[in-house]
């Protein structure tokens, strides 16, 4: 489990985490720009992801497109917990509903457990 608090500048790459197959739980609190989410693309063991700032959800900075790209590339991800504005939450939900997330290993459609507290 890794937790990064206080925001992650968009000049920081979290790509080294994609070489940690045992990483299953990741929390990125504070500002989480799209470039940071894109650097996590294909994280092999990631199952649980928490994004954003509980106290200041408007400062999360990620877009629905970046979250969708990350979900599609992290094949084992199934639990997504977002602290964001209502508009961003709706946009993420819509984008995930419209995206082809692929299939699970048993052939059934892949689903994501999306949680947006307070929404």
Per-residue model confidence as pLDDT tens digits over 41-98: 889 899 999 988 777 777 677 888 999 999 989 989 999 999 888 888 889 999 988 8
For the chain, the farthest-separated pair of C-alpha atoms sits apart, in whole angstroms, at: 39
* Token couple for 118: 């307070």
Nearest alpha carbon to residue 8 among 30, 34, 27: 30
For residue 119, is pLDDT > 80? no
* pLDDT number for residue 29: 84
- Tokens 């608090």, located at residue: 5
Side-chain-side CA neighbours of 59 within 13 Å: the count stands at 13
Average pLDDT, the chain: 85
């Amino acid at each position: 489990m890794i937790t990064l608090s206080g925001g992650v500048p968009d000049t920081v790459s979290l790509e080294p985490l994609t070489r940690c197959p045992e990483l299953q739980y990741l929390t990125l609190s504070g500002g989480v720009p799209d470039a940071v989410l894109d650097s996590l693309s294909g994280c092999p063991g990631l199952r649980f992801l928490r994004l954003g700032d509980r106290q200041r959800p408007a400062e999360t900075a990620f877009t629905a497109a970046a979250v969708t790209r990350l979900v599609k590339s992290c094949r084992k991800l199934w639990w997504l917990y977002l602290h964001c504005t209502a508009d961003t939450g709706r946009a993420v939900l819509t984008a995930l509903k419209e995206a082809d997330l692929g299939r699970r290993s048993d052939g059934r459609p892949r689903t994501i457990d999306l949680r947006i507290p307070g929404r």
